[in-house]
A and B are shown apart, each in its own frame.
Chain A
């Protein structure tokens, strides 16, 4: 029987470090010290998570400068409100919500200035229902994980991501980078699980289609 390695498990994510329980305890210790004004403790949290926060932000807002602003604002906000962190979740869970809220706020603020017709012109209009759309039974010629040292491959993926609608890109990034469940994403975006499912489906479908257009090739898995 075909057993997908991810069946009924949270998506394994190379960005998520192992030994999470021990890290959580360390984090809580740092948070407690940071609450008392220990800047070095807060800096340790920053050093631990700023890369991951940046990866998340740049995936959503696309622009490097904007991603830097989002991450900075997120850490400043986290520092300001660190007294309210109750330890019910890990520190990073709390932080990524701040990052996502700021990233989503950012793209909403800049949305008015952008030519949103572009997305519609290439048939990537956002929809909250899956309808008749299907996934393409085709895979890329090369494994993107192994090939991204090539500049053009990375640019193709960046292009495909940029062409997604903001909501589609946000759910795709949350799922693929943070391994969030549909429930967690629904809470983060203030919508239903059904909406998350639709957005994720569309995002992946559109990415798949665009990557095949940009990078070409198909492969028969059975060959």
Chain B
């Protein structure tokens, strides 16, 4: 019986291996690509208010999301400024925002890419215009997905949102 069980186990393992090996065999070179050491980030500074209606055409990738809570409280979304930056792994990117605040982004690393979308690990801090730290966090997010940080009130009673999306090259 031991021999039979061995054979059965070997069959099961090889079936599993054969299934998984298809993609590997077809891939040029056969080795998984090394994790990226840079990421291309887009940072959008957004003003949410009830003056007017509609989402700025430049905010199209976020249009559907901005219709959902908590953003559904506002009718109008305007792009204040867009930044396109390349971040290097473990090198902080400091960004001055239109409000006078400072956003610091740190691309900590990436994983995945074979069967899962590339996953980026991003650190971020937000300091107010006086240099006082407001937020400090780390997020794991699929390449290209957005993270939105909001809640601050700006002039005219509008609400300020920063949207960050980073993509592995």
Q: Number of B residues whose C-beta is below 8 Å from A?
A: 13
Say whether B99 faces chain A, with CB atoms less than 8 Å apart. no
Q: Which DSSP category, helix, strand, loop or mixed, fits chain A's interface? A: helix
In the complex, chain B residues whose CB is within 8 Å of the CB of A186:
92
In the complex, chain B residues whose CB is within 8 Å of the CB of A190:
92, 94, 104, 106, 123, 125
CB-CB under 8 A for A187 and B94, given A84-B111, A108-B133: no
Q: Which DSSP category, helix, strand, loop or mixed, fits chain B's interface? A: strand
Q: Which of A84, A190, A192 has the most CB of B within 10 A?
A: A190
Say whether A191 faces chain B, with CB atoms less than 8 Å apart. yes
B121 and chain A: residue at smallest CB distance? A84
Say whether A12 faces chain B, with CB atoms less than 8 Å apart. no
A105 touches B111 (CB 8 A): no
Q: Which of A111-150 contact B (CB under 8 A)?
A: none
Chain A interface extent, by class: under 10
Q: Which of A166-207 contact B (CB under 8 A)?
A: 186-187, 190-192
A195 and chain B: residue at smallest CB distance? B94
Whole-angstrom CA separation of A192 from B92 in the bound complex: 8
B92 touches A105 (CB 8 A): no
Can you pick out 5 interface pairs between chain A and chain B where the beta carbons lie within 8 Å of each other?
A84-B111, A186-B92, A187-B91, A190-B104, A191-B94
What 10 new A-B contacts, CB under 8 Å, besides A86-B35, A192-B94?
A84-B109, A105-B136, A108-B133, A108-B136, A186-B92, A187-B92, A187-B106, A190-B125, A191-B94, A191-B104
